Amino acid sequence: MFAVRPLVDSDRPWVRQWMSDHWGAELMVVRGRQIYPAEYPGFAALDSEKVVGLITYAIYAGECEILSLDSLTEGQGIGSALIEAVQKIAIENGVRRLWLITTNDNLKALRFYQKRGFELVKIHRHAIDEARKLKASIPLIGDFGIPIRDEIELERCG
């Protein structure tokens, strides 16, 4: 069993390390913006004292963007619980649109989010070419041997 708690300032160092370990760098590039998820609010899922999941998000312009989401164990409800924690914060802040960006190769994420009520709303064609100018470490080939080219925007309203 796991518990979900908000991130606090003292979590920032391990969140930076988590991003490096799980995303290849502290830096993410989304829609041409450089983002350091460790500097944003979020939630951790813990099993005893061990972190088993992490979500970071940003609320701005009346919307809530999920910046990162990770679960170390699939099928346990960790990712869903983290999304619901962010959704609750979004609603408390009067936000109705919860959205995120993933890449075209990330079929597991596309399946996961759609099963949780997210809809594909935009494909930003060849956006990764621009992202690589800001983060050269983004690989050319991703999951399942699929060339990484596009950013796919998903949203859940309500």
**Predicted confidence pLDDT, tens digits, the chain (158 residues):** 899 999 999 999 999 999 999 888 887 888 778 889 999 999 999 999 899 999 999 999 889 999 999 999 888 899 999 999 999 999 999 998 999 999 999 999 999 999 999 999 999 999 999 888 888 888 899 989 999 999 999 999 76
Q: What are phi and psi of 32, to 5 degrees?
A: 80, 5
pTM for this prediction: 0.91
- Give the type of residue at 94: G
Give the burial string for 46-74 (b: 16+ CB within 10 Å, else e).
eeeeebbbbbbbbbeeeebbbbbbbbeee
Is it true that domain 3-157 has CATH number 3.40.630.30? yes
DSSP 82: H
